[in-house]
Chain A
Amino acid sequence: MSLKGKAAAIGIGELKPFKTPGREIALELMARVAAEAVADAGLEKGDIDGFFTCVPFSDPGWLYPASAAEFLGLHPRMLNIVDTGGAAPAGMFWRAAAAIDAGLCNAVLCVIADLNREPEHRLSPFSVQREFEAPYGNIGPNCSYAMIAQRHMFEYGTRPEHLAKIAVDQRTNALKNPLALFNDRPLTIEDVLSSRLIVDPLHLYDIVSPCAGGAAFVVASRDIARRAKHPPVWLLGAGEHCHHSSITYAPSITSSPVQAAAQTAFGQAGVTHQEIDFVSLYDCYTITVLVSIEDAGFCKKGQGGPFVMEHSLTYEGDFPCNTHGGQLSFGQPGLAGGMSHVTEAIRQLMGRGGERQVKDAALGFVNCNGGVMSEQTSLILERKS
């Protein structure tokens, strides 16, 4: 079975991330981007018959899809959460296409919003990380990504300036994105390397900045897509893979499940790496991008460092990557962080990239990452000429 050409993204909605939430709740942000995406698709609320969301970090609760659908006034025939962390936006895209292909629904709203605010109640399930890692001070993802970077440097000779180059090129992209949180001044490799060391070898500018925000997109059947306002962005291939939750128990911490996810997506799409016009790679940290470039097969394993030095990752470069600035410059609105990689790919393929439009963009590769290189979902998206 293949999802190739079975469904397309036809509308997007996205908030400019912001640093200081007031008293709003995630559902308020969700309502704004949901309405924006459905209008952008040229549809009415009543046309939406499928619904995917995520339970925001800031508002943990049970039975969330029904609460959110009720809040929005939706009456879906198919609803669920996609609980794969940062990989969820790409995960929603192919699940929406699969549900459409199965005849369950015709227009699926995929939406995530979150705030950088501690929840009043924390869920406390049985947690291996809490028992075996938190007591030693491994709390939150910083340390684990730092250990990936450290091991990558040991195995392959990767250097801090290689990681810095990723943040620098992505900032160049952000300067052309009015929605980006950090779009007021360029960065240099020296800026990154002289920023404060947080967890060796990662500096402040190697790490995303938490903020509030949200985004949405609509995936629709072929019939609806043909009547859409904007050029439909077709799903050509998708792949997903996971082999660990904590990197402590991963077979390797420098080779990720992106390898299997990307291989499946490319196989399904039937396109080559050379045909890809731009990539949109989840970037909670600079090392995430480096490992994803290698594991998705854009360069030889271990050669990510030299690759990013030899190529320009800007929107006008020879390897456009995260043309919205990536989360490093766009901001990471909690669990909604991965959304911007999907919305930006859709925007580019619709030809709505504005000043940062990649010339003649027709094929894009997206990878979204959950946890610590844990859940991986790759997509290949196409604008048909």
Chain B
Amino acid sequence: MSATEYAKPLPKPSPMSEPFWEAARRHELWLQRCADCGQFVFYPRPQCPNCWSAKLEWKQASGRGRIYSYTVVRRATHRAFTEPYVLAIVELEEGARMTTNIEATPEQVRVGMPVSVFFDDVTPDRTLVKFKPA
């Protein structure tokens, strides 16, 4: 780990999303789940986007999912990123999708590939949720 400052964009959590990022710091993946319609909700919101119920509960997710789609970024639009890197949308077992990085070589990655979560402590107080081949 180099001593240079972390130059990539960092999330700035809101009161709504703080529980998600705090869980990530504990190396846990937590999602909201609607107590009325049962749908898992990502990103955090004050009410369910499916049924507008305000009864959202935080639940720990399995951390397992599949690659819904991905790209290998060979020309980044932000200078702090080292090319190539794999950007993906992962569909979690719980049904919610999230944008993330896959720690794998470009040749390894496939649509539909099973992946599991890991936690990247990018700064002392910020942890990103990433995935690697399961």
Contact = CB atoms under 8 A, between A and B. Distances in A.
Nearest to B68: A151
A151 B100 contact: no
A379 to B, nearest CB: 29
B39 interface: no
Interface string B67-107: 01111111111100100010111000000011111000010
Interface in A232-268: 246-249, 253
B11 interface: yes
A134 B99 CA distance: 9
A131 B128 CA distance: 11
Interface stretch (A10-18, A142-150, A321-329, A330-338): A142-150
Interface string A138-160: 11101100111011001000000
Most B Cβ at <10 Å: residue of A132, A135, A196, A198:
A135
Contact of B87 (A136, A196, A249, A253): A136
A130 B11 CA distance: 7
B99 A199 contact: no
Given A131-B17, A135-B8, A136-B87, A150 B70 contact: yes
B9 interface: yes
A128 B14 CA distance: 10
B11 A138 contact: no
B14 A126 contact: yes
A142 B122 CA distance: 24
Interface in B11-36: 11-14, 17
B35 to A, nearest CB: 21
A150 B89 CA distance: 11
B51 interface: no
A200 interface: yes
Contacts, number: 97
B77 A246 contact: no
Interface of A: 126, 128, 130-140, 142-143, 146-148, 150-151, 154, 196-202, 246-249, 253
Contact of A151 (B10, B78, B85, B111): B111
A196 B11 CA distance: 31
Contacts of B128: 135-136
A135 B70 CA distance: 16
Nearest to B89: A248
Nearest to A128: B43
B69 A136 contact: no
Given A130-B12, A131-B43, 20 more contacts: A126-B14, A128-B43, A130-B9, A131-B13, A133-B99, A135-B8, A135-B128, A136-B101, A137-B78, A138-B99, A139-B9, A139-B78, A142-B77, A147-B70, A150-B70, A151-B69, A201-B71, A202-B71, A246-B99, A249-B97
B45 to A, nearest CB: 9
B112 interface: yes
A199 B73 contact: yes
B78 A150 contact: no
- Where chain A touches its partner, the secondary structure class is helix
Contacts of B69: 147-148, 150-151, 154, 253
A270 B10 CA distance: 50
Contact of A199 (B13, B43, B71, B89): B71
B98 A154 contact: no
B9 A199 contact: no
Nearest to B20: A132
Nearest to A153: B111
Contacts of B11: 130-132, 135
B52 to A, nearest CB: 16
Contacts of A131: 11-14, 17, 43
A382 to B, nearest CB: 38
Contacts of B12: 130-131
A132 B99 contact: yes
Nearest to A129: B99
A227 to B, nearest CB: 49
28 contacts: A130-B9, A131-B13, A132-B43, A133-B99, A134-B9, A135-B10, A136-B87, A136-B99, A136-B101, A137-B73, A137-B76, A138-B87, A139-B76, A140-B77, A142-B75, A143-B71, A143-B73, A147-B69, A147-B88, A150-B69, A154-B69, A199-B71, A199-B72, A200-B71, A200-B106, A248-B89, A248-B99, A253-B69
